[in-house]
Chains A and B, each alone.
Chain A
Amino acid sequence: GIQVEQSPPDLILQEGANSTLRCNFSDSVNNLQWFHQNPWGQLINLFYIPSGTKQNGRLSATTVATERYSLLYISSSQTTDSGVYFCAVPLSYNTDKLIFGTGTRLQVFP
């Protein structure tokens, strides 16, 4: 099945810094979602981005489907951005079953 790898596994930032998180997947996809898991364990939808670029406030995401990767950009990071960031893709074209990546744990310090 499809493999989803994220990098870096851990990231420590000072408030105000920018960061780029990467999601690599091993096969073509028709869907990709980014999530933020906050310190209380809640999963928060960030982006649905099978291709192209989207922006939402300080966050933006770009998926280059032909090269099988997606990037999540966080600008001017805040302590509330701390948590784990996951990307997820469907196992295959004919299933809704999402396969989650390994996650990037982000810690933002004041």
Chain B
Amino acid sequence: EPEVTQTPSHQVTQMGQEVILRCVPISNHLYFYWYRQILGQKVEFLVSFYNNEISEKSEIFDDQFSVERPDGSNFTLKIRSTKLEDSAMYFCASSDETGVRFTQYFGPGTRLTVL
């Protein structure tokens, strides 16, 4: 069964550094998402992406964050200057455009630790 993959599984970085989290969505999917989960809290929506542009973003997704689909397979989340409070689990998800459009398939996550 096709699945969403994410790399790395764990990233440790120093405050102020840039990080790029990578995702490979399911190949025929067209809608892409990032969510995050701070330790012990709920999973929160960050951004949705379709047709090479952001379709929706949350108030968390400020100017420090950006997303990109650099080629036909990868979907990335960049944090320009990490803060301690960016430490969280980041999940990528994708969905297709058929009748089950809203089924979002989640990747295993990248645990980001900012020191």
Binding site for B on A (CB under 8 A): 30-31, 33, 35, 41-45, 48, 86, 88, 90-91, 95-103
Name A31's contact: one of B44, B102, B107 (CB within 8 Å): B102
Tell me the minimal C-beta distance from A42 to chain B in angstroms.
Answer: 4
Tell me the minimal C-beta distance from A64 to chain B in angstroms.
Answer: 19
**Distance in angstroms between the alpha carbons of A44 and B107 in the assembled complex:** 8
Residue pair A43, B106 in contact (C-beta under 8 Å): yes
Tell me the minimal C-beta distance from B47 to chain A in angstroms.
Answer: 9
Name B108's contact: one of A42, A95, A100 (CB within 8 Å): A42
Contact with A along B40-76 (1 / 0, CB 8 A): 0011110010000001101000000000000000000
**Distance in angstroms between the alpha carbons of A42 and B108 in the assembled complex:** 5
Can you give 25 contacting A-B residue pairs, CB < 8 Å? A30-B102, A33-B103, A33-B104, A35-B106, A41-B37, A42-B108, A42-B109, A43-B43, A43-B107, A45-B106, A86-B42, A88-B43, A96-B31, A96-B33, A96-B56, A96-B95, A96-B104, A97-B48, A97-B56, A98-B45, A99-B45, A100-B42, A101-B42, A102-B42, A103-B42
Binding site for A on B (CB under 8 A): 31, 33, 35, 37, 42-45, 48, 55-56, 58, 89, 91, 95, 100-109, 111
Residue pair B106, A96 in contact (C-beta under 8 Å): no
Residue pair A45, B95 in contact (C-beta under 8 Å): no
Name A48's contact: one of B35, B44, B45, B103 (CB within 8 Å): B103
Q: Cβ of A99: which chain B residues have Cβ within 8 Å of it?
A: 45
Max chain A Cβ within 10 angstroms of own Cβ: one of B33, B43, B48: B43
Q: Please name 15 further chain A to chain B contacts, defined as beta carbons within 8 Å, in addition to the given A95-B56, A96-B48, sorted by A numbering.
A: A31-B103, A35-B106, A41-B37, A41-B109, A43-B107, A45-B105, A48-B103, A86-B42, A86-B43, A96-B55, A96-B95, A97-B56, A98-B104, A100-B43, A100-B44
Q: Cβ of B109: which chain A residues have Cβ within 8 Å of it?
A: 41-43
Name B35's contact: one of A90, A95, A98 (CB within 8 Å): A98
Residue pair B45, A43 in contact (C-beta under 8 Å): no
Q: Cβ of B48: which chain A residues have Cβ within 8 Å of it?
A: 96-97
